[in-house]
Amino acid sequence: MIEITGVAKTFGAVCALDRVDLTVRRGELFGLIGRNGAGKSTLFQLMLGLLSADEGRVQVDGEFTGAPRFRAVKRRIGYLPENVVLYDNLSGLETLRFFARLKGVDTAQCMLLLEQVGLDGAAARKVREYSKGMKQRLGFAQALLGEPLLLFLDEPTNGLDPEGIREFYQTLKTRQEAGTTIVITSHILAEIQQRVDRLAILQAGRIHAAGSVPALRDEANLPLSIEVIALSDDIDPIVTALRREPFCDLTILGRRIAFECPRDAKMAAIAALSPLSGRLADLQIHEPSLEDVFLGCMEVSA
């Protein structure tokens, strides 16, 4: 769906993007993460055709963003910016109808979309009376106008409550199952780590790493966290057995014993614990989170 090749973009002395290569497959949910100023918003604007690259090329749905035929592609794109700006004097329904007319889509779908994002009860209220989360929902509704083939969502859950976040991702899942390609940025990495098919980590205008979350975990080679809980206060046999292993630097808190384990020593750790199963109440193995992978990548690139 998206092919980015050798793209560079500068603003005066600031290099926002430095020869970026990136591919987003048709129908996938793709995450784009990075620190503030990493170049995510610039990359979004290039993919939307709002900016032109200084070098390289951006192709979306088979068309180059600078070509005249890209105008037809843009009509099939939905976009939710990080900071939603709406007209305070219009109602929610009037706002959505306004954007529908701009996009050339049937205004009959507006009320259905407001229902979908949980704003049907506030359709007649002025936007100035909306909370931040309600404005975010309305912005999402306008991005969904016309059943877009491609969605760009920049920090889309900003201001949403937990129920709103869950409903948002349920809607995305439905859209993806219908064939929509979705590109999303978020600083809340725990939200997206189980939801994206693949992601790219952007650092100082460059793609530092790209792939699925499991692939990035393997590449980062971060240790696993293992925690056991003893059945009784007599933890000495457990501690003695674990300290025989070279990878064990134990943290002990009451009946809880925690340690980190290199990824390639996972089975050795389980083998060491197996004879102790009668002394254990619980065993938990934690994979590194996406946040761990991201921070590990940042430390490597620093």
Q: How many domains are contained in the chain?
A: 2
Q: Are 276 and 169 part of one and the same domain? A: no
Domain hosting residue 228, numbered range: 221-299
Boundary (domain end) residue, out of 193, 218, 243: 218
pTM of the model: 0.87
Q: Are 81 and 229 part of one and the same domain? A: no
Boundary (domain end) residue, out of 218, 247, 269: 218
pLDDT digits (tens, 9 = 90+) for 167-179: 999 999 999 999 9
Distance CA 86, CA 137 (A): 12
Q: Are 43 and 188 part of one and the same domain? A: yes
Q: Are 226 and 148 part of one and the same domain? A: no
Q: Is the pLDDT of residue 163 over 80?
A: yes
Q: Are 253 and 117 part of one and the same domain? A: no
Q: Are 206 and 226 part of one and the same domain? A: no
Q: Are 61 and 187 part of one and the same domain? A: yes
pLDDT digits (tens, 9 = 90+) for 35-80: 888 899 899 999 999 999 999 999 999 999 989 999 999 989 999 9
Boundary (domain end) residue, out of 158, 188, 218: 218
Q: Are 65 and 199 part of one and the same domain? A: yes
